Structure 1
Amino acid sequence: MNPYFKLSEAESYVFYKVPKALFTEEKYNPVSTDAKMLYGLLLDRMHLSAKNGWTDKRGRIYQFFTVKEAQEKLRFGHEKICRLFSELEQADLIVRKRQGQGKPSIIYLKKF
């Protein structure tokens, strides 16, 4: 089997997109690479929220992405995932609205 990609295979893979601005703009320097990856996951899921019609009265798209789901995707522990979500909030990249006991937070993804 040939271990190299061929031209016909170039678009046959799905990728997560992480905005370049998160790495080039100085205001995002304090944000860890892991938090930037979490933002990329949230950005990827935004189309699903739009497809489901998950918008609020102001037309803002929101999503549900639990700590457990983030743990499964990124392979980090509970405390680290909570820290990553907090980093994104502090960097003004997301807003989380808590819904109450046992319900996932509503997450609004903000533009970078």
Structure 2
Amino acid sequence: MERISLKQVETSERFYRVPKALLLNPFYKCLKPEAKLAYSLLRNRFNLSISNEWIDSKGDVYLYYPNEKLAHDLNVGKDKVIRIKKELHEYGLLEE
């Protein structure tokens, strides 16, 4: 059995998870695809938040994802990120 190198791990396929509710629940039917993708990227950051102990006094996890970084990751402009985040907020998926 061959050992797996760091390079293999770094270049192997990794995935973002999209909650089925975003695709199947009629409530989210009109949520734009880029907002669903942004939610998946944001949701993925919870792992980093937990490892950094970014948890408030109520036990709620918060995350740090600058608009510039999200814009870069989605390949959109900063104004588009603001619109996406507003849409996520309207659907109760993001609180700032």
TM-score (norm 2): 0.85
Deviations for 1:69-90, whole angstroms, at most 9, x for unmatched residues? 1111000011111100001000
Moved >4 Å (runs of 4+): none
Structure richer in strand, relative to its length: 1
Matched residue count: 85
TM-score (norm 1): 0.73
Match of residue 30 from structure 2: 30
Deviations for 1:47-97, whole angstroms, at most 9, x for unmatched residues? 11000000001000000111101111000011111100001000001100x
Q: Percentage identity across aligned positions?
A: 34
Measured on the aligned residues, the alpha-carbon RMSD in Å equals 0.8
The answer for unaligned runs of 5 or more in structure 2 is 1-11
In structure 2, distance between residues paired with 1:32 and 1:88: 9
The answer for unaligned runs of 5 or more in structure 1 is 1-11, 97-112
Structure of greater relative contact order (alpha carbons < 8 Å, 6+ residues apart): 1
Deviations for 1:10-69, whole angstroms, at most 9, x for unmatched residues? xx4111111111010011112100000000001111011000000001000000111101
